Amino acid sequence: MRVLAAMSGGVDSAVAAARAVEAGHDVVGVHLALSRAGGTLRAGSRGCCTIEDAMDARRAADRLGIPFYVWDFSERFRDDVVEDFVAEYRAGRTPNPCMRCNERIKFAALLERALELGFDAVCTGHYAVVRTGPTGLELHRASDAAKDQSYVLGVLTAAQLAHTLFPLGDTPSKALVRAEAEARGLAVAQKPDSHDICFIPDGDTRGWLADRVGTAPGDIVDRTGAVVGSHEGAHAFTVGQRRGLNLGVPAPDGRPRFVLEVRPVTNTVVVGAKEELATAEIAGARFSWTGAVPDAGRFACEVQIRAHAEPVRALARWDGTQVVVVPASPLDGVAPGQTAVLYDGTRVIGQFTVDRTVSAVPV
């Protein structure tokens, strides 16, 4: 089988490519250049897709004896991920750029080009498992719960699963992957994992957004509408945030307050007690199904609202136009723009972008 190995320059993708070679596939390595800033440098564990990462990927490919190319996806990454990120924050939502990157770059643009060039599959270093179930291919959680990445892969479709390989999915731990890389003589064996948003390597999301969205003074209010503070731009806040509020009026009970809502139209941030973050229902019209499409109507599931959050038992319903999920116990601080991934045990059912939330605490 002809396999295109997406090589980020990290240890996971290098070992995944090595396993694909060892399995007897005809493997070609490719690194995606996602920024036109050719001098972009890596800062410890922050950022990815830098010039150092491209060099590390090339060295790994050389060690494996496979052809290697760098493909420039910077324009599409800018349009589909970076600009989407800015637009979502401008609209008062909290996006997940990793979901958009997987959806629109790694498993859309990359896979489309791979198939056009005659490859049978794309191989990545993600920790997830593709299995054949009663109704076809299914996406499942990885064996290593600590490294499981099925959440950020919830955007994949059945057609994409048919052309995707995740060689690391059944590996019990990341330590074993690093040991294998060491044994194979891969220089990235002890390279730190990347964290944070790759196109904001210094981690200053608030400053980065301010440069692109601008600043505009506004009010911070409680749920009654009383002004309790001010801010320089609603885009700098997200639901559940506690730090950086700089409130001028303390809460009557003296307890900390959290962001409950961001209202971009009025440039207002609403705050309240932690228990007011409890969410009784979420819904969204931007959804996709991973594998078999569930029948319209109601179905039991588990819902996960962040990459490393605990899944919560829930009842979902969809009518072909939107998905509505009612958790068995309230979710904590869900923001519009977040991604909700639905599971049946270890199997990913699908995902949707949260458009609407219903508080479990009456106003």
Q: What are the catalytic residues? A: 101, 198
Q: Is 89 exposed, middle or buried (0-12, 13-18, 19+ CB in 10 A)?
A: buried
CA distance 237 to 246: 12
Please report, for the chain, how many H helices and E strands are present, in that order.
Answer: 9, 20
Return d(Cα 256, Cα 296) in angstroms, integer.
Answer: 42
Whole-angstrom distance, CA of residue 347 vs CA of residue 290: 9
Nearest one of 320, 331, 317 to 288, comparing CA atoms: 320
The rounded distance, in Å, linking the Cα atoms of 173 and 143 is 8
Give 340's strand partners.
352
Q: Are strands 136-141 and 128-133 parallel, antiparallel or unpaired?
A: antiparallel
- Pairing between β-strand 258-263 and β-strand 339-344 as defined by DSSP bridges: unpaired
Query: How far apart are alpha carbons 298 and 281 in whole angstroms?
Result: 14
**How many Å apart are CA 64 and CA 21, to the nearest integer?**
8
Angstrom distance (rounded) from CA 172 to CA 177: 9
CB 163 within 8 A of CB 113: no
